[in-house]
Amino acid sequence: MKAFFKNLLSSFLGTLLALSMVSAFSLVVIIGLVFAFLPEKDEPFIEDGSVLVFDLSVNIVDAPVPFDFDEVLSEFLGGGQVPTLSLRQTLEGIRNAAHDDRIEALVLRGAFRPEFYGSGFPVLQELRENLQYFRETSGKPIYAYIEAPSMRDYFVASAADEIFLHPSGVVPFLGLSMESIFLTDLLDKLGIGIQIIRAGTYKSATETFTETEMSPENRAQTEKLLQDYWNFLLASVAGSREANPETWAEISQTKPVLTPDEAIRLDFVDHAGHYDELLTHLARQLNRPGEELTRVAFATYLKGLQWKEPRRGQTPDQIALLYVEGDIMRGARGGAGQVNMESLVREMRAYREDPQVKAMVLRINSPGGDVLTSEMIRRELAKVRETMPVVVSFGTYAASGGYWAAMASDRIFASPVTLTGSIGAFGILPNIEEMSGKIGLGYDFVRTSDYATLLSPFREKTDDEMAIWQNFIDDAYQEFTNLVATERDLSQEEISEVAEGRVWSGFAAKERGLVDEFGGLSAALRDAAGRAGLGEEWEIVEFPRAKTFSDVLDEWLTGSPPQVQQAQSFNPLPEADREIRYFLQSHRPYLVHSRLPVLFRID
């Protein structure tokens, strides 16, 4: 029935497109309405003895996933948009399957497709821990099928009982790297000058615009960070395979790409075979030789869960879970990769005043951004802490402004591979005087005082003006370090060691007192419940909440059109594109930034 409607609607939409009678948004609304009202079962039927198949070709994000017009349109037209799953729903699905008598085994396949700040190693660590819970609690087997896995893919696959590698596949075991792209020469050719003010020897966010290679300080902090990550990942994957981490570290130096025979011999995988051969082998292991196993897609299985989404004030004993995911920027509307600060602070205030809410957990996955915006979030969190326990959970990033926002909390949880710290500040002062001359753009001014053109991008700043901005940045840095010293109970000597804009792994951050405990989002929620004396009976209310199609359509009809994310075409330099976009949105010099370079991505 659904296929019939899809064919019919496809022809109808094709006609409309040809006649240019409706907008793209209207088309998506029509598609959403058709899908919303087509009759479907509330819960997919799952047979006894089913095998749950988790296709890892997804992007796992922290926050709930709202209704996405692009995803609906892509699915309807057979496009290739990356499916998105929320962390909590993914973990609950796996834990639920462990106790589901209909599920007999779990199969992992596919390769992660991270976008923005999704599918970072801390998220995958929590996923891996829940896979281990599935095995140990249920006694059900997990099988993994890989072809040419990245380190992210193999990190998760190594939690399986047995690993199959495609007969023509390889296992790249290359180690980790972090690549930086520098725009200095490009900006010079365009005639765009950049003046930088910063506080913190290691504050490397500005190097993208001013250098052609890493500074010695940046190289030193990156080497230490990568080594911490590598040690953790080696211990995890080698431990799961009952191998020696030092031996595997040596293999990455001598044989970085393993053929199937080598991967089997060195115990990286158990078998070389095709996917159907894995299923045949699994059937024998389940004492069902020759039988075709019933498979259930993980995404389908999630639809059948009774996913509770209580609203604030509906039930007693609630824990408010709020997400700070993306760049912290003033005026941001909460699109992909951005935090909607105004909505976040407003919701924090509402939770603080709600007698049903007994504790708050702030989940942070952010490289930082605008200092003033970060301080607004921190101050509101401090007010919340006056009325209830506040616990912070760090995701992939909790650095700069992301760390600033977290300080007003009772306890901070992090992963050993959370990118943490970067306690520093900087400002970006563009100068397009040379470019203006190249393109014939004139510039003149009239002013009432010597500093009236202090914000102008049409000229280079004088030494006197640079001193004004440097004092501004120094004040922000001093405020940052004072807050850390007070909230984390650190001496000035200890602050000097951990600050200066230096980036730390979660492991090093815990050693230095920047975080309290290792653990994921689930651990932070349990800790918050304990501090509030809630026992085992409590519910979670989230912000932002996963909006349904009805929610989004209602916003549109009432004059608040939702943001439709533009489809991403192939981009050979996505990191450079994102860095330039951030620069264009944040070039105002009176905005003090405390942020990581967005290019600080580890693979």
Which residues are the active-site residues? 203, 400
Do 363 and 590 contact (CB within 8 A), yes or no?
no
Cis bond leading into 416, ω under 30°?
A: no
Do 204 and 217 contact (CB within 8 A), yes or no?
yes
Do 358 and 318 contact (CB within 8 A), yes or no?
yes
Give me the residues paired with residue 429 across strands: 195
Long-range Cβ pairs for the range 13-17 (8 Å, 24+): none
> In a 3-state reduction of DSSP, which class is residue 437?
helix
How far, CA to CA in Å, does 570 sit from each of 261, 567, 577, 586, 599? 35, 10, 12, 25, 18
Cβ-count burial 563-602 (b if 16+ within 10 Å, e if not): eeeeeeeeeeeebbebbbebbebbeebebbbbbbbbbbbb
> In a 3-state reduction of DSSP, which class is residue 331?
coil
Alpha helices (H) in 490-520, listed in sequence order:
492-498, 506-511
Sign of CA pseudo-dihedral 330, 335, 338, 341: positive
CA-CA-CA-CA dihedral for 382, 384, 388, 393, to nearest 10: -70
Do 554 and 440 contact (CB within 8 A), yes or no?
no
Do 509 and 515 contact (CB within 8 A), yes or no?
yes
Give me the residues paired with residue 357 across strands: 318
> In a 3-state reduction of DSSP, which class is residue 209?
helix
The residue type found at 108 is: L
Picking from 349, 400, 345, the residue whose alpha carbon sits closest to that of residue 376 is 345
**Rg (Cα) of the chain, in Å, rounded?**
26
Do 567 and 68 contact (CB within 8 A), yes or no?
no
Do 82 and 118 contact (CB within 8 A), yes or no?
no
Do 335 and 578 contact (CB within 8 A), yes or no?
no
CB neighbour list of residue 589: distance below 8 Å, 6 or more residues apart = 427, 428, 429, 455, 469
Task: List the strands of the sheet with 338-339, edge to edge.
Answer: 193-199, 425-431, 593-595, 368-370, 327-328, 338-339
Do 118 and 87 contact (CB within 8 A), yes or no?
no
